[in-house]
Chain A
Amino acid sequence: MRKLRFAILSFAHIHAWSYARVLKSLEEAELAAIYDDDPERLRRAAEAYGVKDLYGDYRQLLKREDIDAVVIASENAKHAELAIAAAEAGKHMIVEKPLATTLEDAEKMIKAAEKAGVKLQQAFVMRYHDATVAVKNLLDGGTVGKILAVMTTNHGKFPGLWFDDPKLAGGGAVMDHVVHTADLMRWYTRDEFDEVYAVIGKNIRPDLRSEDCALISLRFKSGIVGSIDCSWSRPNTFYTWGDVFLAIYGTDGFILVDAFRPCINLVIEGKPLTWHYYGPDADYNMIKDFVYAIQEDRPPRATGYDGYKALEVSIAAYESARKGLPVKLPLQR
């Protein structure tokens, strides 16, 4: 198997650093070049991962014939420009979530990738956590019968940086968190959302430029009930980064998932208790699978369309909160 040559387009999103770590560790791939529009961040990334080919202009990087695929991890609002250019340059791509900040952009990205015949994988890392994969297998095997309801949470600390800047992020905690468990629910139920009701607030961090929390009630076409409790509500001193929690109610059983609970209680003299994670490395699983999807020429586990449908829940949540009423999906554009 030929080593695939990768470039990372922007380290603005914190996950870029983890993806770079994975690329460096894979036998099947090579991190050949990086681009960033922030020279200081470019320098730090280059230093951290020992990359020599550095670009402040992504167009120049994309001209390189030897690059097979790119990881797009810019600020959310810049995904579309980078993804469309990457598609036109014939590069396969994995795009950090959310896919874009508007459905229009998301659709343009999907179409550009289709036209160019390149793979567009949405980086839904929660489809690659071994526990959530195990749940998918249990559900598909009928372990809990038919799904009746799903309750999910995705809480975290405030990530800082540009994440609360609506211009760059497209919103706040809703844009950051909703798509993860919205996507898991779609994946598990094999169903589409029919209605979204949301309450959104800037409830605990008044200094932010965006919302910090949302409570979302969902209904699927088949009648399955779902919910998302997402927020940047964890204090800075919290003992772990946050959580992805799922409760799945079936006709014949019940599944609880606390994906990031596998932790060691770690106390270092002079510091508060922290949870030291030892669970599955979902980032590794995801990037590796993307490499294999290219090598084996098969569709990625989460496509651009999956990214679009999850983003639609976030967009609908904003609309519902604005109106104070439930909103029907799919959204009319």
Chain B
Amino acid sequence: MGELGVAVIGCGFIGNVHLRAWSKVKGSRIIAAVDLIGGKAKRAAEAYKAPYWLTDYTKVLEMREVDIVDVCTPTYTHAEIVVSAAKSGKHVLCEKPIALRLSDADDMIGAARKAGVKFMVAHCLRFWPEYVESKRLVESGAIGEPRIARAYRLSPFPEWAPWHKDRRLGGGVFVDMSIHDVDFLRWAMGEVEEVFARGGTLKTADSTSHDFTHAILKFKSGAIAYVEGSWIQPPGFPFTTYLEIVGTHGMLAVDNHSPAALKVYRPGEPPAVYTPFEEDAYDKEVKHFYECIVRDLEPAVPGEEAKKTLEVTLAAVKSVDEGRPIKLPLEGEVL
């Protein structure tokens, strides 16, 4: 197999992160950067030496030299782009959440299967160092059976993506952000059977999306988890995550500030507290997808997995709306 051509659709924050990651994957070549806003596509194409920049994604589906389409657009556009990319025979990497409707997820999964292309949803915690190591510890039996988990993720509202204020476009804080923790907990602890959640649109003006949600998950195994997502942090609040898993023989806990290798302080900016890796989670994620294509492997997060994770987050939205616990699987759509 020769070099695989990549087109990244959506050149916002995560699109640029993926472009940088693709630029490091030997055996791949960035062919096109696509964005509805021409300036963004052009800047991204220039930065990553892609021969083409486009505003119409359907054009890349016709390009023979494009093997992989990496969908980094707003959530509400995922289904249409992924289905048409798969139908065009392109392998598809799609940013999380997979979609906002379960039927859309089914269409995406079906289209990829029918076309015989690889399809993965970019749930980056599956490549995130402390989460990968936590999963490994749980799997190794180091803390016994995982029985109680706690995870939270705190951020100011993502003002840079105003479509998040419309729940039909972005799904809200739990579907968009806590989905990371839910996906990780499913990965580490198995399937969820019931969700109770509380929250709402507590602070954000003119938003139909929930900006704060806490959820209590009951797993099939009998384990339980508390997951909280906040988009109501004050401006400038440093992005904060926490994970704790208690097992029958011990526990693990990790957050994203205390164990950081590096702290950078600059005037007028919140401290940057992080642990840099030459190959970061996004690099690993993108490289993994490339390997899946080249070696014909099952991707770490196939569409079916991402759909199950989505379903749990949708159950949380439904629980907040209806004030009662929601059993899985869901009957019908939520958003």
Task: Using CB atoms and an 8 Å cutoff, list the residues of chain A in contact with chain B.
Answer: 148-149, 151, 153, 195, 197, 199, 201, 203-204, 206, 213, 215, 217-219, 223, 225, 227, 229, 231, 233-235, 238, 247, 249, 251-254, 324-326
How far apart are the CA atoms of A195 and B324 in the complex, in Å? 11
Q: List chain B residues, Cβ under 8 A from A215.
A: 148, 216, 224-226
Interface pair B251/A199, CB less than 8 Å apart: no
Question: Which residues of A lie under 8 Å from residue B250 when comparing CB positions?
Answer: 235
Q: Does any Cβ of A come within 8 Å of B167's Cβ?
A: no
Judge whether A251 and B224 touch: CB under 8 Å: no
Q: Is the CB of A233 within 8 A of B216?
A: no
**Measured CA separation A197–B224 after assembly (Å):** 14
Contact B325 A197 (CB under 8 A): yes
Contacts of B202 in A (CB 8 A): 148-149, 225, 249
CB <8 Å contact, B147 and A249: no
Pairs A–B under 8 Å by Cβ, sample size 22: A148-B202, A148-B232, A149-B199, A149-B214, A149-B230, A151-B228, A197-B198, A199-B224, A201-B224, A203-B148, A204-B147, A204-B148, A204-B246, A215-B225, A223-B200, A225-B199, A225-B200, A231-B148, A249-B233, A251-B203, A325-B325, A326-B196
Q: Which residue of B lies closest to A219 (CB)?
A: B198
B323 contacts A by Cβ under 8 Å? yes
Please pick, from B154, B199, B218, the residue contacting A199 in the complex, using a CB distance under 8 A. Answer: B218
The minimal Cβ–Cβ distance linking A189 to chain B, given in whole angstroms, is 14
Q: How many chain B residues touch the partner (CB < 8 A)?
A: 36
Whether B246 and A148, one on each chain, are in contact in the complex, defined by CB atoms closer than 8 angstroms, is no
Interface residues of B (CB under 8 A from A): 144, 147-148, 150, 152, 154, 196-200, 202-203, 212, 214, 216, 218, 222-226, 228, 230, 232-234, 237, 246-248, 250-251, 323-325
Q: Are A252 and B216 within 8 A (Cβ)?
A: no
Contact A253 B234 (CB under 8 A): yes
B248 and A249 contacting across the interface, CB-CB below 8 Å = no
| Residue pair A324, B199 in contact (C-beta under 8 Å) | no
Distance in angstroms between the alpha carbons of A215 and B144 in the assembled complex: 21
A151-B152 in contact given A213-B224, A225-B200, A227-B228 (Cβ < 8 Å): yes
With A199-B218, A225-B214, A229-B150 in contact, do A148 and B203 touch (Cβ < 8 Å)? yes
> What A residues does B216 contact at CB under 8 A?
197, 199, 215, 217
Q: How far is the CA of A253 from the CA of B222 in the complex (A)?
A: 37
Given the complex, which residues of B lie within 8 Å of A324, measured CB to CB?
Answer: 325
User: Does B230 lie within 8 Å of A229, measured CB to CB?
Assistant: no
List A contacts of B196 (CB < 8 A).
197, 199, 217, 326
Contact between chains at B222 and A254 (CB < 8 Å) = no
Instruction: Indicate if the CB atoms of A326 and B323 lie closer than 8 Å.
Output: yes
Cβ-closest chain A residue relative to B215: A217
Across the two chains, which residue of chain B brings its CB closest to A227?
A: B214
Q: How far is the CA of A238 from the CA of B224 in the complex (A)?
A: 21
Q: How far is the CA of A326 from the CA of B216 in the complex (A)?
A: 12
Complex CA distance for A6 and B7, rounded to whole angstroms: 78
Complex: how many Å from CA A295 to CA B12?
66
**A258, chain B: closest CB distance, angstroms:** 11
Q: Which of A217, A223, A234 has the most CB of B within 10 A?
A: A217
